[in-house]
Every structure is written in structure tokens, then in C-alpha cells.
Amino acid sequence: MATSGLYRRVLPSPPAIDFASDEGKKLFIEAIQAGTMEGFYKLISYFQTQSEPAYCGLASLSMVLNALAIDPGRKWKGPWRWFDESMLDCCEPLEKVKAEGISFGKVACLAQCAGAEVEAFRTNETTVDLFRQFVKRCSSSDNCHLVSSYHRAAFKQTGTGHFSPIGGYHAGSDMVLILDVARFKYPPHWVPLTLLWEAMDTVDKTTGQRRGYVKYLTLCTLICSSCKNESWVSVVKYLMDDVPHLLKSEDVKDINGILSILLASPPSSLGKFIQWVAEVKREQDGGIGISEEEKQRLAIREELLKQVQDTGFFKYIVNFLSSTLCCGRVPVFGGSGNLHEIAASICCQGAEILSGKSGTSGCSCGHETCVKCMKADGHKTGMVLSATIVKGKNEEKVNMLVPQSLMELCCGAPDPNNCSSTQPVGSNILTALLLTLPPETWYGIKDEKLQEEVQSLISMDNLPAMLQEQVLHLRRQLYHLKKCQENMVDEILPAPCP
């Protein structure tokens, strides 16, 4: 029996050109030949239809985040970490988005919280020529994507405000490909770039501000965080609210004094947060086979760890934490043990992740634990930790991929059979967190010479380019998560990257 309702719409053409039409195919082939469809392949691999009529912003964002291969740092279903609309509820409750949609600013904030490198532009803050430059640049790359916020009326389409990714560009006709996430309504279609600009240059009545576009880039991060991770939210509050107050309340004379104050009563979640998110594989899922993408990602993390360990702040933190360990105090973020014990512990955590029962007890490890080096571009960049996990009568072999220098922090000797703890685990992540603090955080230090010394330690001029990028990214995450919590993201968008 037929049911009344709507089955798609006829795409108004002109001004749009159906992607699957003869003319649309011709534009597509010519754009491929011109090299301005490079971003299309990743986007189409993760193309999805919005699951709710008002979820266009969330669908566009989850599609782009997956295309950029950004790890959400939390599970979607079963053991799998994957971005889905249902996970993008940081800046606005899903029930509210379902009823009212989501604003341009909050879509940009969500991406920032999820770990993407974000630049957001309202039309009154930029020009059509600059927009065209971004379209050309992102259409010629597979690690840069644009999402447009526009009003459908400019295209003679039904509906009002809408979000969709831009899938490509045809230079000869100056047209862009809109990968409309409302596929139940309209198919992907080509539209004139200038007309899309007019559609973006409209006012959202809910916020009173103009629409625009957001550029997303991928960034391999040293710290995998999520605004829905309770330990991360707690750490952000501690860094942004508590640390400045603590520095003002005490008259400290040296760096050890500062560390003593900051680490005397850290949030209980700090230890849980300072964990490396490793790649986990079951033996039957491919053994220790590592993809080129994993190798590249691990090589970047390895280099970042080395750069952190070369900073002056890292040396202070290691010495401070080592002295507390010698006094019999175990830091909340620390740990010790030889390399095989660490491998067994990490693999046990991996087995829990794979089973979807993280945090459960009754897992014993240690059988056939081994450590193997992994190379990328001819250099040792990581280690594969393998172990047989015993759960009652059942055994399961798992492998986990971690940066080599992380293991060196736990073990001073490269020989797994001759291992002694020399540096507390977590020193690198703690250093990165302190470098991430906004410079004004340290203004509360009363001793002028000490304040100068701290400013020198955290100065961006003294950091390598890759670590600078990482620190700036984390600072933006801290800043926008706080603004998101204060419901101010529509007033202050993620700024263009320095």
C-alpha cells in the first residue's frame, strides 16, 4: 500500500547541473583532467546522507572528519572508533539540533573539538576571490576540505539554511560541486561559484550573523582528545581555570616550586588522560601488519615526542618527577616497570578495547610477550608490542603499535632484557600540556626573574615548527572548548592559522 509523503525533489536546473547528467559528467571529467577533483575521492568514500532533516551540519562534519582520517579518540559501536552524527554533541545537545538545526559557529567549534585544524570565514570577513582561492587549493588536495553554509533560495531550491561539503571545482565554467548530504531531496550538483557566494552571503536569523565556509585540515596530534571525554574536559578546566589561580596564590621562587604547586593536587582524571592511544590489532585480523598510513602517523608522533623531549621544560619535569619517585611518592600520571611488563599491560588494555569491555577486571597478561621494532622511511619510529592475553580458559593474541621513544621513557636501555626505569611515564604529555597553556597564564608569578625564565621556556621562538603547530592547535582546542561551554562560539570563530 502506497504511503503519502515526499520522494525527492526535481533539481532546479538552471542554475544547478545534476552531477549524473551528461553535462555534469562532462564537467566532472574535465575537472579531473585539470587536477581540481583531488578532494572528491576521499569525500565520496565517506559520503553519507544526513539521518535527520536538521542534521545537515553534523552529517557534513562527520563526513569530512572521516575523510581526513581523524581518530575520534572514543568508540562509536563495538570496538570501532568512527565519527558519526550521534557523536557530535559537544557544542549543542542532539535533541536541540534535531529540532532547530545547528549554527555556523557551532559546526566550526565541533570540528575544532574533534581534532581538526579549522579556519572559519563569514562572508563579511572575506571576499569571493579569497573563497575561490580556497576552493582551488582544497579541490587540488586530498587533505583539505571545505564545508559551505548557504541558503537554498539562491539556487531556487526548497528549504532554507543548509550545510554541505564542496566536492570539486571546474575552472573553465567557474563552478563548484555541491555534495548535498540531503540526498533524499537533491542529488550532488554543480553550481556557479559566484552564486554559491551569494547563497552564503545571507543572514542566519537565529544568530543574526552571516553564513560562510569552513576549511578543514588534518593534523596528527600528540594528544588525542575529545570534548566528550570527561577526563579531557576536567583537564581543560584545571589548565584554564585552576592553574592561573594557583600561580597567583603562591610566592614561588623556582621552576620546581611551580611544578610542586601544579602537581600537588591535580584533577583525579589527569592520570587517566595521560595515556597513549595505540593502534590495536588481533592476531587473526592481520598480525603485525602496519599500513603506510599508520607508519606515517607514527613517524610524525615519534618526531613530536622527540621535539617535546628536547625542550627545557621537559628536563625540569623529568627531574622533578624522578625526585618524587625517589622519595617513595608515585605521581598520579606516572608508572614504572620493565619493557615486557609495560607491553603486557598495554596489550591487556588493547584486548579490552577490542572486546568493547574497557575497564573490566580478570584480564591476565604476560605469556609470550615480545617487542619488535617498526621502521618508516628506513628509521626506527615505533614498536609493536605483542602478547597473549589470558581470560579464564580463553587465550587471544593482540598487537599494539606505540612510538619507540614512548617506550624509551619507560625503559632507559634499548635491550628489553636489561631494563630499568629512568624517566616517569607521562612526562612528555605533561610537558605538552604545560606548553599549551596561554602565555598570560604565567603572568601571576610574582618573582620577575622566574616569570622571565618561564616565558623563555614556553616561547614559541624556541620550539621547532612541528611542535609550534601542535601547541597552537591545542591552545585553540582549549580556547574553543571553553567558549563552547560558555555558549559563545557563534561570536568568536576559529581564527585562521598563524
Name the active-site residue from 56, 109, 220, 484: 56
Catalytic residue among 180, 347, 419, 490: 180
Can 162 be counted among the known catalytic residues? yes
Residue 56 is among the residues annotated as catalytic for this protein: yes
Q: What is the 3-state secondary structure (H, E, C) of the chain?
A: CCCCCCCCCCCCCCCCEECCCHHHHHHHHHHHHHCCCHHHHHHHHCCCCCCCCCCHHHHHHHHHHHHCCCCCCCCCECCECCCCHHHCCCCCCHHHHHHHCCCHHHHHHHHHHHCCEEEEEEHHHCCHHHHHHHHHHHHCCCCEEEEEEEEHHHHCCCCCEEEEEEEEEECCCCEEEECCCCCCCCCCEEEEHHHHHHHHCCEECCCCEECEEEEEECCCCCCCCCCCCHHHHHHHHHHHHHHHHHHHHCCCCCHHHHHHHHHHCCCCCHHHHCCCCCEEEEHHHCCCCCCHHHHHHHHHHHHHHHHHHCCHHHHHHHHHHHHHHHCCCCCCCCCCCCHHHHHHHHHHHHHHHHHCCCCCCCCEEEEEEEEEEEEECCEEEEEEEEEEEEECCEEEEEEEEEEHHHHHHHCCCCCCCCCCCCCCCCHHHHHHHHHHCCHHHHHHCCCHHHHHHHHHHHCHHHCCHHHHHHHHHHHHHHHHHHHHHCCCCCCCCCCCCC
Catalytic residue among 90, 144, 151, 162: 162
The catalytic residue positions are: 56, 162, 180
